[in-house]
């Protein structure tokens, strides 16, 4: 499996994880270690950065975990930039998962505010990974302002519905010049494998691991699924479908002269 490079970092695992919804910090730590993940998102609003004994941060103190603070909770670009600056200072990383969802019910990302914030944050020196709808045009606009990757959703966040946006993810993957990380909606290892087979560069999984009956075992299952999907993609899947057959030969004219 080829490693993945985002900005200046190399990742040997293409499974990114989240830190919400676990029943304890201890369980989160065990599951994330089992997942093999090298990039872990963390909601700034959930941690007490002043406190070294913070239940989340203390369990993430492993060298393999790169922290990816997210701006979950902000509702517009202005709040996002403010939150980003706080995160950079507190967690000493310029990496940022940009999330702006003004809608409290489905937590759907606001494309206009996200683009605005991304542009500003890139100028401020952040490595920006925006969480967005699976919108191919928005992805190109974000690339142009300099984001390091795009994170389109597979289906509504926390829904575990899989790749409902598959047709758009295919377009995004085909035309993107930055890594594509499928985020949100991945509820089963098979969904993760499907995203990787499509050619996604990585997937981000949180709920499906955190709320399963056995988070550690589920984390391992995702690890294997992501590897399997990526290996299949690199090995090139066998083709499906049949080739077209014309009713009357189209190239017979070549023999006529």
Q: Which residues have a catalytic role annotated? A: 97
Contact flag: residue 2 with another protein (CB under 8 A): no
- 245 touches another protein (CB under 8 A): yes
CA end-to-end span of the chain, whole Å? 52
Question: Least distance to another protein from the beta carbon of 163, Å?
Answer: 15
Q: Give the residue, chosen from 114, 176, 206, 207, that forms a contact with another protein under the rule CB under 8 A.
A: 176
Considering the complex, what minimum distance in angstroms separates the CB of residue 254 from another protein?
A: 5
Measured from the CB atom, the residue of 34 and 196 that comes closer to another protein is: 196
Q: Which two tokens stand for residue 197?
A: 């087979």
Q: Can you give the three-state secondary structure of 105-154, one letter per residue?
A: CCCCCCHHHHHHHHHHHHHCCCEEEEEECCCHHHHHHHHHHCCCCEEEEC
- In whole angstroms, how close is the CB of 241 to another protein at the nearest point? 6
Contact 83, 71 (CB under 8 A): yes
User: By C-beta, is 63 or 241 nearer to another protein?
Assistant: 241
CB 175 within 8 A of CB 157: no
Beta bridge partners of 68: 41
Interface residues with another protein (CB under 8 A) are 140, 170, 174-177, 236, 238-246, 249-251, 253-254, 256-257
Give the residue ranges of the annotated binding site for 1-deoxy-D-xylulose 5-phosphate. Answer: 158, 184-185, 206-207
């Amino acid at each position: 499996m080829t490693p993945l490079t985002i900005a200046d970092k190399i990742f040997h695992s293409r499974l990114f994880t989240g830190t919400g919804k676990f029943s304890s910090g201890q369980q989160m730590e065990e599951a994330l270690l089992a997942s093999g993940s090298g990039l872990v998102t963390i909601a700034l609003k959930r941690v007490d950065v002043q406190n070294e004994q913070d239940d989340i941060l203390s369990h993430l103190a492993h060298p393999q975990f790169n922290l990816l603070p997210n701006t979950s909770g902000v509702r517009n670009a202005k709040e996002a930039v403010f939150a980003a600056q706080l995160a950079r200072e507190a967690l000493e990383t310029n990496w940022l998962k940009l999330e702006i969802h003004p809608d409290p019910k489905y937590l759907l990302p606001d494309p206009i505010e996200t683009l605005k914030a991304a542009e500003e944050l890139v100028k401020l020196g952040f490595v920006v990974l925006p969480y967005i709808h699976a919108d191919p045009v928005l992805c190109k606009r974000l690339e142009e302002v300099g984001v390091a990757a795009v994170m389109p959703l597979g289906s509504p966040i926390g829904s575990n519905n899989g790749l409902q946006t598959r047709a758009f993810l295919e377009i995004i993957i085909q035309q993107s010049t930055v890594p594509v990380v499928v985020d949100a909606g991945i509820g089963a290892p098979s969904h993760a494998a499907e995203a990787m087979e499509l050619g996604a560069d990585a997937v981000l999984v949180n709920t499906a691991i955190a709320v399963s009956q056995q988070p550690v075992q589920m984390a391992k299952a995702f690890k294997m699924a992501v590897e399997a999907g990526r290996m299949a993609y690199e090995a090139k899947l066998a083709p499906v479908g049949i080739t077209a057959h014309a009713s009357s030969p189209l190239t017979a004219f070549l023999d006529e002269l």
